[in-house]
Amino acid sequence: MLKAYYDNMLLCATEDFVMKDGHYFFPPERVNFSLLVKSETHTQLPHLGKANFYDLKTDRIHEKDIAWYYPNTDATVKNIENFITFNIKIDKIDVINTD
């Protein structure tokens, strides 16, 4: 089980994740979107495509561009298409062995 937190708020928890370029990518159905709002930020990488970003927003926190995903990836990285990843601003990622 992999869990990601920001300020003790659970952003996601899953056993189904992908590790790519030093980032954990989480399936969107396992992400807590109640804490995220779409950002106006977009970037482009040749092999990954256009990235769309999310801000973390609560009544007391606004953390810009904390998460992103690639909606239309190259065929070589389809396994992360639409999966969400988080930047280094998150507090911690817990890896829990459930074996």
- 32-51 per-position pLDDT tens digit: 999 999 999 999 998 899 99
Average pLDDT taken over every residue of the chain? 90
Fold held by 2-95: 2.170.150
Which tokens hold the place of 21?
């370029």
3-state secondary structure of 21: coil
d(CA 34, CA 3): 16
Domain boundaries, the chain: 2-95
Q: Cβ atoms within 10 A of the Cβ of 98, count?
A: 5
Query: For the whole model, what pTM was predicted?
Result: 0.88
Please compute the mean of the pLDDT values over residues 60-88 and round it to a whole number.
Answer: 93
Residue 70 CB partners (closer than 8 Å, separation 6+): 48, 49, 50, 51, 52, 77, 80, 81, 82, 83
Please compute the mean of the pLDDT values over residues 60-83 and round it to a whole number.
Answer: 94
